[in-house]
């Protein structure tokens, strides 16, 4: 059975600013995040899940597939 989750909007580029500083100001130290973006001039959406924090600390690992 799936658990109910409460999702909270923590960053929206159209109102918070579309730049690195605004993103990190709103997203660092928030834990795992789900992101959704709309392709410019389109109705298409893309998204992803980051199980890690956006703090930028910790090991950096690149996986090539």
| pLDDT for position 46 | 95
Q: Which residue has the higher pLDDT, 60 or 16?
A: 16
Return the domain boundaries, the chain: 13-50
pLDDT digits (tens, 9 = 90+) for 8-39: 999 999 999 999 899 889 999 888 899 999 99
| pLDDT for position 11 | 94
What average pLDDT does range 37-54 have in this prediction?
A: 92
Encoded tokens for 16: 């918070």
* pLDDT at position 54 over 90: no
The C-alpha atoms of residue 53 and residue 32 are separated, in whole angstroms, by 6
The C-alpha atoms of residue 27 and residue 53 are separated, in whole angstroms, by 8
pTM score of the predicted model? 0.69
């Amino acid at each position: 059975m799936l658990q109910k989750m409460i999702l909270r909007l923590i960053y929206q580029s159209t109102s918070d600013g579309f730049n690195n500083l605004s993103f990190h100001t709103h997203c660092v130290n928030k834990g795992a995040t789900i992101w959704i973006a709309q392709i410019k001039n389109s109705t298409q959406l893309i998204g992803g899940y980051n199980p890690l924090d956006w703090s930028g600390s910790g090991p950096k690992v690149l996986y090539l597939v």
